[in-house]
């Protein structure tokens, strides 16, 4: 698996990104320059971290929005995923200055971006096999009122 150097964290850790990562396909609209800028503002504490950074300007559109009873909601697999996500059709993403970046120490020992998306950090999705029992209540409350905007 080929990786490219992306940036140094605020406290000096090198961070890499996987070239052509299946998981990152779901977040392909996020610019690497903005991920690198966010990384430079993060104080990283190994081996796993999800960090929300406010870049102080509108950088993109958050596709995790508050839903209404009138919304067209469907559960589907997103690209590069095997689990179901709660999706809303017919709505637009909302402008945001926030970028959430996930970094982990990978099996090769390199600190690697495993996700990056515009908007605030959200609880794990309910179908995520990594959702711990102690996280379920918070996730259920959040996903009862939120969904991911999709094209269609």
CB of 101 within 8 A of CB of 3? Answer: no
Pick the closest to residue 63 from 141, 147, 144, 124 (CA basis). 147
pLDDT of residue 25: 46
Average pLDDT over residues 126-147: 95
pLDDT of residue 152: 58
| pTM to 2 decimal places | 0.81
Average pLDDT over residues 39-64: 94
pLDDT of residue 58: 97
């Amino acid at each position: 698996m080929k990786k490219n150097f992306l940036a140094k964290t605020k406290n000096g850790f090198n961070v890499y990104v996987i070239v052509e990562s299946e998981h990152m396909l779901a977040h392909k609209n996020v610019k690497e320059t903005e991920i690198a800028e966010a990384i430079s503002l993060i104080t990283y504490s190994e081996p796993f971290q999800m960090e929300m950074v406010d870049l102080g300007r509108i950088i993109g559109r958050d596709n995790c929005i508050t839903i209404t009873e009138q919304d067209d909601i469907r559960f589907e697999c997103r690209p590069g995923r095997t689990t179901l996500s709660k999706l809303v059709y017919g709505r637009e993403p909302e402008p945001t200055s926030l970028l959430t970046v996930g970094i982990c120490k990978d099996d090769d020992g390199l600190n690697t971006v495993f996700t990056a998306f515009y908007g605030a950090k959200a609880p794990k999705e309910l179908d995520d096999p990594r959702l711990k029992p102690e996280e379920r209540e918070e996730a259920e409350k959040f996903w009862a009122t939120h969904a991911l905007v999709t094209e269609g």
